[in-house]
A and B are shown apart, each in its own frame.
Chain A
Amino acid sequence: MRKKSIALPASNAGLTNKVLAVYVKDLRLELRSRYGLNAIFMFGISSLTVISFSLGQAALSTKVLSALYWIVVLFSAMSAMAQVFVREEESGTAMALRLTTEPNAVYLGKLFFNLSLLVILVSVITPLFFIFTDAPVEGIVNFLLVMILGVLDLCAATTLIAAIIARASVKGALFAVLSFPILLPVLIVLVAATDKVWAGSSLAEVSKLLQFLLAYVVIMVTASLMLFKFVWED
Chain B
Amino acid sequence: MWWQILLFLVMSAVIVTGFITEAPQKQIGEASRIFYFHIPQAWLCVVAFAMSAFYSARFLKNRKLIDDDYALDTARLGFIFCLLATITGSIFAKVTWGSFWNWDPRQTSIFILLLIYGAFFALRSAVEDEDRRATLSAVYSIFAFVTVPFLVFVVPRMVTSLHPTDSVIDENLNFTMGVQVRSIFFSSLAAFSVLYFWMLSLTKRLNRLKRKQMTGAA
How many interface residues does A have (CB within 8 Å)?
A: 33
Known: A164-B136, A188-B108, A189-B155. A182 touches B126 (CB 8 A): no
Bound CA span A201–B121, Å: 41
Q: Are B131 and A168 in contact (CB under 8 A)?
A: no
Instruction: Check B139 against A227 for contact (C-beta < 8 Å).
Output: yes
| Stretch of A48-56, A69-77, A93-101, A212-220 on the interface side | A212-220
* B95: interface (CB < 8 Å): no
Interface pairs A-B: 8 shortest CB-CB: A181-B115, A170-B126, A181-B116, A168-B126, A223-B146, A234-B135, A227-B139, A168-B127
For window 136-182 of B, CB contacts with A under 8 Å fall at 136, 138-140, 142-144, 146-147, 150-151, 154-155, 158-159
* A230 adjacent to B158 (CB under 8 Å): no
Q: CB distance A220 to B159 under 8 Å?
A: no
A139 at the interface (CB under 8 A from B): no
Minimum CB–CB distance from A68 to chain B (whole Å) comes to 18
Q: A177-B122, A188-B108, A216-B150 are in contact. Are A160 and B116 (CB under 8 A)?
A: no
A167 touching B136, Cβ below 8 Å = yes
Instruction: Decide if A209 is an interface residue (CB 8 Å cutoff).
Output: yes
Q: How many residues of B contact A (CB 8 A)?
A: 32
Inter-chain CA distance A150–B129, complex, in Å, is: 35
Q: How far is the CB of B214 from chain A (nearest CB, A)?
A: 22
**Smallest CB separation, B107 vs chain A (Å):** 12
DSSP majority for the B interface? helix
Q: In the assembly, what is the distance between CA of A73 and CA of B90, in Å? A: 32
List 8 other contacts, CB 8 Å, given A234-B131, A234-B132.
A169-B129, A170-B127, A174-B126, A185-B147, A212-B158, A224-B143, A227-B142, A234-B135
By a CB distance below 8 angstroms, the chain B residues around A34 are none
User: Across the interface, do B143 and A184 meet the contact criterion of CB distance under 8 Å?
Assistant: no
Q: From residue B118, how far is it (CB to closest CB) to chain A in Å?
A: 8
Shortest Cβ gap from B2 to chain A (Å) = 41
Shortest A165–chain B CB gap in Å is 8
> Which residue on chain A has the smallest CB distance to residue B123?
A178
A189, A219, A230 — most chain B CB neighbours (10 Å): A230
Q: Return the chain A residue nearest B114 by Cβ.
A: A181
Known: A212-B158, A234-B132. A184 touches B150 (CB 8 A): no
Which residues of chain B are near A160, meaning CB under 8 Å?
139, 143
**A224–B139 CA distance with the chains assembled, in angstroms:** 9
